[in-house]
Every structure is written in structure tokens, then in C-alpha cells.
């Protein structure tokens, strides 16, 4: 029997506000445990919630980016349950009137566009962080009350790669908007993935299993692929899939059981009595929407227009700072965007990673990088010289012109000079010419290298290669 996987994803995004959702405590990561709290966060008697205006504005930005319908009146509800990481015994959320509904996200899988429906997005507060040791569990309340927006997809994904691309798309959107840092390793973006199988061609959903605690994009694909394989084997062997909560074990490369689900939990939701409904002002909504940063899919269209391929675009979009740097260089009139991409994403990124720097922390200036790319494009310097110049630019912040002057780099394209150099090289390397004519194609690289050496790196290597070939003919052709 052939089965079709059906996947839905709930993503919790921590909003990068200065203070928490309902208290004045600062939002931070890595501070001393339980040092970033107020009486409200610790559920002292008599404390009252105050809605964070910035978090609401961030929520409006997110649902706008997700093409959702905005509810212009904010309602909050209580989700009642007892758990050690929830000191009040309830969480303030939006069960009945989420801030956004009925949207979609565009993902790209193998070069094809696919629309994934987003059912709803709602604002809520985060819980404390639990740290489980061998014999005790510890609680850090610094995270308690951090603003969250939970984004709930429709079950419209059917493979591990689609699930991965969906989470990537959401992370791109929230980081480009500037509402979250999207760092899964820090818990800023967490997702629960529901996976079920149904007989192909039918509409009825199968029994779903939920995968939690996925902390990397790669683990999302791995967990979904494994779970599809596991459930397929159960069904093909005549068994029944049980409703479970599972986690992905990175060491074992498989999902493992956390707990079985029997009955649905009754959270006894009711309207939050300490927060009255809030009508959102049209001016407040307008300001939130019109202060949004440019979104990734808008950049995709722009980058495609300047000649970048899909791979180049996706690699560049992984870091918004790089995208902005690249676009600013385009604005400055760089002549060859693809050469710019290559230098930025290979040489510069390698240097930054090696030295644990961001591009804004380096000495590199945009106008200097544009100058370097144009010098290479105009063949005024060769690629080896370009790498040497770039290294000095990154280390010392000097301009390409000053480095060229200091090091005496001049790319010579004069025909007479190159012909003279090539003539001397061929005269001195009869054996290499003979090897070339016998089919040893490495001889050409050696001859070009000798020409560069004789000219002290000043001649254009492409022109030198062309002129050598004109004289020695095709490889393997005896006279």
C-alpha cells in the first residue's frame, strides 16, 4: 500500500522586544539565572499584566508578512495547567481570537514554488526554562514571560524537505523583519511538527505523532524523514500508529518516545479577566506595517534580475547583513554582480568565519569592494593580485588603489609586451611544447605560469593563455 505523509508545524518565535509580554522585566539571553525577573514573572499575589505595545506591533508585522487577516481587537485568554515552569498555573495566550488568521507562506523546493497555508498566529508569553540534571531539575525564570508569536500551519506539507523549507521561510521572515533573532540553538525559534500518514488518494488523516525539541533546520528534515519511514513500516506490517510525543535523538539519528498521548488535555480556557479587549488604532497599525523591513522574497526577485542563480540567491539570503551589503554595492554601481557574489560569499565569508567577525566588524568598506571588483572586471589586476589586495583590505582597511601603488601591481594588457613575454617563454620551454603536442594538457598551465613569472605577475593571464594557444595549437595535435 502506498502512503502519503501529511505534515503540520507549530512554530514558537520569541520576539526581540526590550521587555517581556506583560511585565517590565528585560528580555535577555545568557544572563545569570533568575536575575531578569519581576514580581509578575514569579507570580507574586496581586500582580497585574500590562500588554507590551512593541510586541503587538511586532505581531502586526509578522502577520502582514504572512499574508494574514488582522483582528483589529486584541483579546487574551487563560490557558490553565500546572507545570513547574509556569508559576501562575496558567499561561496568557490567544485561544479564541488570534491576532492573525488565514495566511500563507511561499517556499521553494527544487526550484519550484509552493504555497503553504498558515491557519493562525497568536501572541502569548513564554514559560521558564527547565534544566534537567541527573537527580534534580532546575528552573530559570529569566525566559518566563518573554513575548512569543505562535504560527500554526495547515497540514499541507508532504516531505522532510518541505518541512525544512517552511521553517527556513518563517525564520527568514522574522529575522529580516527584525522581530526575532531566530536562533534555534538559543530557543528563540522552536517548532513542534505533527506527522501522519494516509493512504494515497484519500482525504482522511491518519494518527499523528508530534516531534518536539528540534534545534536545527537539518534535524527537522532528518526527524520528519525518519518518522515517515517508521510509520510506513508499522502500517505495512499490519500495525497501528499510536498517538505519541517524540523527540529527535541526534546521536541515534532517529526519533525516540517521550510520552504517549491518550486523552486530550482540558486546559479550561477562558477570557483573561485582567486584560480588557484592546481596539487597535488605525494609525498604530499603519505605523507598524509601513516600518517593515524588506522581505526575503522581495530580495529574491531583485537578485534574480541582476543575474544571480538560485543557489547564489539562497546562499546570500542566509544572512541579512550580507544581503544589505551586497545590495548597497549594487547601488554603488558595481560592474559584475556575480564576481561581487563570489568574493563576498567565498573569500570574505571565509575570512570572517575564521576570525569570528561579522561584516560590520571588519575593516571592509563597500566602495572599496566595488572598486576591487571593477578592477578585476576591467582586467587591470589579475585574480591572484585581487586576493592579495583583498587580504590587505580586510586586515588594514586600506583602499585597493593605495595597495596597488604600494605593491606595484599593474595589469598589463599591451599586445606587444605580452607577445614578447610569450615568445621568450616558448623559446625557453621546447620540452613543454612537445609534451602539449603529445596530449599532456598540464603543459599549458605551466607555460602560462612561466609567462606570469617572467612578467612579475603584471600581464593578463587570460590574454597570455590565448596567445600561447594561438602559437602552439590544439592539445595532442602533432605538426
Q: How far is 419 from 414, CA to CA, in rounded Å?
A: 9
Residue 478, pLDDT score? 64
Whether the CB-CB separation of 245 and 261 falls below 8 Å is answered with: yes
Residue 2: band (very low, low, confident or very high) from pLDDT cuts 50, 70, 90: confident
Measured N-to-C along each axis, helices 442-454 and 430-437 cross at an angle, to the nearest 10 degrees, of 150
* Percent of the residues in the chain that have a pLDDT greater than 70, as a whole number: 98
Residue 263, pLDDT score? 62
In this prediction, residues 1-12 reach a mean pLDDT of: 92
Q: What is the mean pLDDT of the chain?
A: 91
Residue 260, pLDDT score? 81
pLDDT greater than 60 at residue 479: no
Q: How far is 157 from 173, CA to CA, in rounded Å?
A: 19
**Radius of gyration of the chain, Cα coordinates, nearest whole angstrom:** 30
Whether the CB-CB separation of 152 and 10 falls below 8 Å is answered with: yes
Residue 413, pLDDT score? 67
Whether the CB-CB separation of 470 and 422 falls below 8 Å is answered with: no
Whether the CB-CB separation of 125 and 147 falls below 8 Å is answered with: yes
What is the reported pTM?
A: 0.82
In this prediction, residues 22-43 reach a mean pLDDT of: 92
pLDDT in tens, 260-282: 876 667 889 999 999 999 999 99
In this prediction, residues 123-151 reach a mean pLDDT of: 93
In this prediction, residues 8-35 reach a mean pLDDT of: 94
Whether the CB-CB separation of 224 and 209 falls below 8 Å is answered with: no
Domains of the chain, first to last:
3-283 (no CATH), 294-407 (no CATH), 415-472 (1.10.10.410)
Residue 301: band (very low, low, confident or very high) from pLDDT cuts 50, 70, 90: very high
Q: Determine phi and psi for 291, rounding to 5 degrees.
A: -105, 10
- 3-state SS of 268-323? CCEECCCCCCEECCHHHHHHHHHCCCCCHHHHHHHHHHCCCCHHHHHHHHCCHHHH
pLDDT in tens, 333-388: 999 999 999 999 999 999 999 999 999 999 999 999 999 999 999 888 888 889 99
Strands (E), 59-111: 69-70, 73-74, 77-80, 90-93, 100-109
Residue 379, pLDDT score? 81
pLDDT greater than 80 at residue 162: yes
Name 4's Cβ contacts closer than 8 Å, sequence gap at least 6: 158, 197, 198, 199, 200, 201
Whether the CB-CB separation of 205 and 171 falls below 8 Å is answered with: no
Closest CA to 468 of 457, 12, 437: 437
Residue 262, pLDDT score? 63
pLDDT greater than 80 at residue 456: no
pLDDT in tens, 381-429: 888 889 999 999 999 999 999 998 888 776 666 778 888 888 998 999 9
Amino acid at each position: 500500500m502506498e502512503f502519503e505523509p501529511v505534515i503540520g508545524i507549530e512554530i514558537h518565535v520569541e520576539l526581540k522586544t526590550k521587555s517581556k509580554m506583560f511585565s517590565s522585566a528585560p528580555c535577555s539571553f545568557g544572563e545569570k539565572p533568575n536575575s531578569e525577573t519581576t514580581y509578575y514573572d514569579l507570580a507574586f499575589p496581586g500582580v497585574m499584566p500590562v500588554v507590551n505595545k512593541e510586541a503587538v506591533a511586532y505581531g502586526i508585522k509578522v502577520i502582514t508578512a504572512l499574508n494574514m487577516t488582522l483582528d483589529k481587537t486584541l483579546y487574551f485568554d487563560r490557558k490553565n495547567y500546572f507545570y513547574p515552569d509556569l508559576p501562575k498555573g496558567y499561561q496568557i495566550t490567544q485561544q479564541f481570537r488570534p491576532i492573525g488568521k488565514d495566511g500563507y507562506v511561499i517556499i521553494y523546493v527544487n526550484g519550484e514554488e509552493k504555497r503553504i497555508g498558515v491557519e493562525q498566529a497568536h501572541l502569548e508569553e513564554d514559560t521558564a526554562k527547565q534544566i534537567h540534571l541527573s537527580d534534580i531539575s532546575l528552573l530559570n525564570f529569566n525566559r518566563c514571560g518573554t513575548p512569543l508569536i505562535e504560527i500554526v500551519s495547515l497540514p499541507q506539507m508532504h516531505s522532510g524537505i518541505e518541512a525544512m523549507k517552511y521553517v527556513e521561510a518563517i525564520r527568514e521572515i522574522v529575522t529580516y523583519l527584525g522581530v526575532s533573532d531566530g536562533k534555534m540553538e538559543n530557543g528563540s525559534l522552536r517548532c513542534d511538527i505533527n506527522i501522519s500518514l494516509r493512504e494515497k488518494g484519500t482525504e482522511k488523516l491518519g494518527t499523528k505523532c508530534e516531534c518536539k525539541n528540534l534545534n536545527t533546520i537539518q534535524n527537522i528534515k532528518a526527524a520528519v524523514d525518519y518518522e515517515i519511514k517508521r510509520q510506513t513500516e508499522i502500517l505495512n506490517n499490519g500495525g497501528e500508529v499510536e498517538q505519541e510525543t517524540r523527540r529527535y535523538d541526534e546521536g541515534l539519528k532517529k526519533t525516540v518516545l517521550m510520552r504517549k498521548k491518550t486523552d486530550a488535555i482540558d486546559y479550561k480556557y477562558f477570557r483573561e479577566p485582567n486584560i480588557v479587549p484592546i481596539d487597535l488604532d488605525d494609525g498604530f497599525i499603519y505605523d507598524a506595517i509601513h516600518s517593515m523591513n524588506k522581505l526575503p522574497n522581495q530580495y529574491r526577485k531583485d537578485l534574480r534580475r541582476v543575474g544571480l542563480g538560485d543557489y547564489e540567491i539562497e546562499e546570500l539570503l542566509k544572512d541579512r547583513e550580507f544581503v544589505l551589503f551586497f545590495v548597497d554595492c549594487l547601488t554603488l554601481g558595481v560592474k559584475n554582480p556575480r564576481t561581487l557574489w563570489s568574493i563576498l560569499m567565498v573569500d570574505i565569508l571565509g575570512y570572517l568565519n575564521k576570525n569570528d567577525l561579522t561584516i560590520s566588524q571588519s575593516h571592509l568598506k563597500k566602495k572599496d569592494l566595488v572598486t576591487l571588483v571593477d578592477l578585476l572586471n576591467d582586467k587591470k589586476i589579475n585574480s591572484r593580485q585581487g586576493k592579495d589586495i583583498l587580504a590587505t583590505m580586510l586586515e588594514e582597511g586600506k583602499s585597493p588603489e593605495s595597495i596597488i601603488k604600494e605593491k606595484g601591481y599593474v595589469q598589463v594588457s599591451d599586445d606587444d609586451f605580452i607577445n614578447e613575454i610569450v615568445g621568450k617563454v616558448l623559446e625557453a620551454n621546447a620540452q613543454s611544447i612537445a609534451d602539449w603536442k603529445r596530449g599532456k594538457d598540464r603543459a599549458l598551465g605551466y607555460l602560462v605560469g612561466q609567462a606570469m613569472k617572467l612578467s612579475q605577475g603584471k600581464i593578463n593571464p587570460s590574454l597570455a593563455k590565448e596567445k600561447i594557444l594561438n602559437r602552439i595549437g590544439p592539445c595532442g595535435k602533432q605538426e
